[in-house]
Amino acid sequence: MTSHDVVRRVRGLFKTRKVGHGGTLDPLATGVLPVAIGDGTKILQFLLAENKSYLATFKLGVTTDTLDAEGEVVLERPVPQLSLAEVEGAFSVFRGEIEQLPPMFSALKKDGVPLYKLARQGKTVPREMRKVTISRLELLDFKPESITIEVDCSKGTYIRSLVNDIGEQLGCGAHLTALRRLKSGEFSISECQTLEQLQQLQDPNSALYSLDQALRNYAAVQLNPVAADALGFGIPPELGQVESGKQIAAGELVRLQIADKLAAIARYVPLRSKEKRGDFELIKVFVGH
């Protein structure tokens, strides 16, 4: 099942076409897929930008064209007798900010054509390296020809590419055999609903988060009545017109709230006040006159 297949099923359950998802999962993968319905689609840009966590298993010694178990084998190499120290040493290369080559079998586009369509035609085109961040890469299980890891990473990271690169670092190649997304931003697998569970609910809407709950990882900032009224006309607030339970850092995205309800997403830019444009840059406004 693809991410679009999930969207299509949810459209049927909620009887609306206004449905989108917050981050594509490969057909091989399972796990967390945020789905936005109705007005929820207005915050997809924020859900797509979130970090992710994965549980991944890969097989050593075999490289495929798709970099996973669904592809054709392109190279087989003997797997050396690897020590735990050698595996950990290979992992250390990929922690932190790294450059990664996106796979040909991906939804990225070249001149408007998805790369996977070109790959199915047997074509390979140049791709630019992309900077991604691997904040955690932990070994969970190590067998002679199979390794299981947990990964915390930035948006846009291809676990298939990471696995392929680890295999090359170990000198024998590798391909992904199982992938499960454990977290997408603040959404964890423990709070997910399966499609089957949604179908069994008398009211599927009871499973939905509000927009404010869905963006709970952004600090909440309460507007005073003057700022709340001005926001309705698209005027951003000044720092003295808001209350927050925590210190806000310059450049941080926050939830602007009116009476504890989401009113806007904004970036704290204190230097804007010198230009008499308030201390916040409005990114997305949900209220207006």
Is residue 193's pLDDT more than 60? yes
Supply the pLDDT for residue 289.
46
Residue 76: which region, alpha, beta or left (left: phi > 0; alpha: psi -120 to 50)?
beta
Long-range contacts of 207-214 (CB under 8 A, 24+ apart): 208/37, 208/40, 210/262, 211/39, 211/40, 211/42, 211/43, 211/262, 211/286, 212/255, 212/257, 212/260, 212/261, 212/262, 214/34, 214/36, 214/40, 214/43, 214/47
Supply the pLDDT for residue 105.
86
Q: What's 64's domain CATH number?
A: 3.30.2350.10
Pair 95, 157 in one domain: yes
What is the phi/psi pair of residue 93, to 5°?
A: -65, -25
Supply the pLDDT for residue 288.
61
Pair 16, 68 in one domain: no
pLDDT higher for 272 or 270?
270
Pair 26, 69 in one domain: no
The residue out of 156, 173, 208 marking a domain boundary is 208
Pair 150, 244 in one domain: no
26 is catalytic: yes
Pair 198, 235 in one domain: no
Q: Please, how many CA atoms are within 13 Å of residue 103, restricted to the half-sphere of its CB?
A: 24
- H-helix or E-strand spanning residue 231: helix 225-231
Residue 122: which region, alpha, beta or left (left: phi > 0; alpha: psi -120 to 50)?
left
3-state SS class at 232: coil
Pair 180, 60 in one domain: yes
pLDDT (average), residues 44-55: 94
Residue at 213 is within a domain:
no
Supply the pLDDT for residue 29.
93
pLDDT (average), residues 257-280: 85
pLDDT (average), residues 76-100: 97
Cα separation, 22 vs 49, in Å, equals 9
Pair 110, 10 in one domain: no
Task: Using the Cα atoms of residue 12, residue 14, residue 20 and residue 23 in order, give the sign of their dihedral.
Answer: negative
Pair 157, 200 in one domain: no
Residue at 159 is within a domain:
yes
pLDDT (average), residues 195-201: 94
Give the total number of structural domains in the chain: 3
- For residue 101, name the pLDDT band (cuts at 50, 70, 90): very high
DSSP character for 129? Answer: -
- For residue 26, name the pLDDT band (cuts at 50, 70, 90): confident
Q: Could you give the angle at which helices 159-169 and 84-92 cross, rounded to 10 degrees?
A: 130
Pair 61, 180 in one domain: yes
Supply the pLDDT for residue 273.
59
Name the average pLDDT for the chain. Answer: 93
Domain extent, residue 223, equals 218-285
Query: pLDDT (tens digit, 9 = 90+) per residue, 219-241?
Result: 999 999 999 999 999 999 998 89
pLDDT higher for 239 or 135?
135
CB atoms within 10 A of CB 222: 18
| Active-site residue (options: 26, 68, 165, 279) | 26
Distance, C-alpha 276 to centroid of its chain:
36
Pair 92, 170 in one domain: yes
Task: Using the Cα atoms of residue 114, residue 115, residue 119 and residue 122 in order, give the sign of their dihedral.
Answer: positive
Q: What's 272's domain CATH number?
A: 2.30.130
pTM of the model: 0.90
Query: pLDDT (tens digit, 9 = 90+) per residue, 243-263?
Result: 987 889 999 999 999 998 999
What distance separates the 2 farthest-apart alpha carbons in the chain?
70
Q: Write down the residue that tokens 């939830």 correspond to.
A: 255
Pair 57, 24 in one domain: no
Residue at 92 is within a domain:
yes
Pair 75, 177 in one domain: yes
- H-helix or E-strand spanning residue 5: helix 3-14
